[in-house]
Amino acid sequence: MIYSRLPSQGQGSFRGFITALRLTRAHFVTLSILGLFVNSFYVRLMNFPDSLAQRWREKRFNSFNRVLRDRFDARVYKIGLRMDFTCPNRDGKVAVGGCIYCNNASHTAQDYRPRTSVTTQLEKGALAIHRRHKAEKFIAYFQSYTNTYDSTAKLARLYEEALRFPGVVGLSIATRPDCLADDTLNLLRDLSKQTYLWLEIGLESMYDRTLAWVNRGHGLREFMDAVERAKARELRLCTHLILGFPGESRDDMLRTPELLNRLQIDGIKLHNLHVIKNTPLEKFYLAGQVPLFSRTEYVALIVDFLERLNPNMIIHRLSGETYRAITVAPEWSIDKLGVHNAILEALERRDAWQGRLFSGENDGAAYLPYFRDAEGVAF
């Protein structure tokens, strides 16, 4: 040891002590330099990989906007559509009342709320976006309610009307896992051969106890079945998740990436739980039964979540979006751009990126374990 060179009490001279101290300093400097070298080497190993930085245009996650720009050589904008669909947990097929957090006015801009034709809504949306962004390429987004919950003939008519609109280069179709009959999936498969198509399936939570509480009317099994049948038809799948439900711990939420990785989901939309006016969730919140994330807590959770995702998964959204006029809480969720920038800053500050903790061992659906709670009930 270094300190063995120091003279023991009552032995040696002052000069010997100074010599030993110089040796000690020399050792200290040597070890310090070595420590800096090792630490620098370790940091280089952990730094954001250059290959991903180039591929993702310096962002630390696989952005949907970047994917669209690379594919279409232009910025592509979604135009949200609201048709005369409903949901099976609204009309009594599996439940009534709908999801307790849902007010579809929060999904679609006020100008498009009336249930006019596909063409009329696209005209209004395209004009507004072109005036603001000079955009000429669009994705028709069948957004509100369950957009596969009708006859195949009607669905084909609506989807094809959207594809005939000038500038529409693709479709996004939002739905539930229990509203994807085989003939509907066959229709989507055929359309996907003609256009750029995303099937967006709302899971919201992988836990059956949560899905029951929010009145979804389906469980994880239905989601996994829908994914398997859609994947068999080579459809692009985007999963919707809401983070922050009561009864789910942080660890519970951070188990979800493993499931999505194993299912080989292509894209994801992440939403923070927010409370909208005139919903059952508002009543629970006002009664003090629904704690909500602070912005700091949510940003930290998203960074942890991204680190566990397969880096090939495309990130469509990082937080929820709503309007001040209909939002009860949290106030910070109204500032979508601010939340987005806070996530980018946190990724940089932590030197984190999507897939940093992804090992690749769960890349594939050959083994899909059941995720069970303490009572042994499959979620």
Query: Quick one: fold of 50-349?
Result: TIM Barrel (3.20.20)
| Percent share of the chain, pLDDT over 90 | 78
pLDDT digits (tens, 9 = 90+) for 88-117: 999 999 999 999 999 865 444 444 455 799
Q: In the prediction, which pLDDT does 1 show?
A: 39
Residue with token string 């994914």: 227
| Chain Cα centroid distance, residue 63 | 10
Q: In the prediction, which pLDDT does 115 show?
A: 72
pLDDT at residue 361 is higher than 90: no
Q: How far is residue 205's CA from residue 243's CA, in Å, rounded to a whole number?
A: 8
Residue with token string 């629904």: 290
Q: How far is residue 193's CA from residue 331's CA, in Å, rounded to a whole number?
A: 42
Q: Could you give the maximum distance between any two Cα atoms of the chain, in Å?
A: 101
Q: How far is residue 179's CA from residue 188's CA, in Å, rounded to a whole number?
A: 13
Q: How far is residue 351's CA from residue 329's CA, in Å, rounded to a whole number?
A: 31
Assess contact for 264 and 238: CB atoms under 8 A: no
pLDDT at residue 36 is higher than 70: no
pLDDT at residue 3 is higher than 70: no
Domain boundaries, the chain: 2-46, 50-349
Q: How far is residue 47's CA from residue 348's CA, in Å, rounded to a whole number?
A: 10
Within a 13 Å sphere around the CA of 168, how many CA atoms are in the beta-carbon half? 27
Radius of gyration of the chain (CA): 26
- The continuous run of DSSP H or E covering 214 comes out as none
Q: How far is residue 297's CA from residue 306's CA, in Å, rounded to a whole number?
A: 14
Q: Got the DSSP string for 145-199?
A: S-TT-S-HHHHHHHHHHHHTSTTEEEEEEEE-TTS--HHHHHHHHHHHTTSEEEE
- The continuous run of DSSP H or E covering 119 comes out as helix 118-133
Q: How far is residue 4's CA from residue 322's CA, in Å, rounded to a whole number?
A: 68
Q: In the prediction, which pLDDT does 45 show?
A: 45
Q: In the prediction, which pLDDT does 7 show?
A: 37
3-state secondary structure of 96: strand
Across-strand partners of 139?
78, 170
- The continuous run of DSSP H or E covering 80 comes out as strand 77-81
Q: In the prediction, which pLDDT does 114 show?
A: 53
Q: How far is residue 224's CA from residue 370's CA, in Å, rounded to a whole number?
A: 11
Residue 225 pLDDT level (bands cut at 50, 70, 90)? very high
Q: How far is residue 82's CA from residue 269's CA, in Å, rounded to a whole number?
A: 19
Assess contact for 140 and 172: CB atoms under 8 A: yes
Range with the lowest mean pLDDT among 32-41, 139-148, 256-265, 275-284? Answer: 32-41
Q: In the prediction, which pLDDT does 321 show?
A: 87
What are the phi and psi torsion angles at 351 (to 5°)? 50, 50
Q: In the prediction, which pLDDT does 15 show?
A: 53
Q: How far is residue 222's CA from residue 183's CA, in Å, rounded to a whole number?
A: 17
Q: Average pLDDT, stretch 21-46?
A: 48
Cis peptide before 330 (omega within 30 of 0): yes
Q: How far is residue 35's CA from residue 224's CA, in Å, rounded to a whole number?
A: 49
Q: Average pLDDT, stretch 165-180?
A: 98
Q: Average pLDDT, stretch 201-216?
A: 98
Q: In the prediction, which pLDDT does 334 show?
A: 96
pLDDT digits (tens, 9 = 90+) for 69-89: 999 999 999 999 999 999 999
How do strand 168-175 and strand 236-243 relate by DSSP bridges? Answer: unpaired
Burial (CB count <10 Å: 0-12, 13-18, 19+), residue 114: exposed
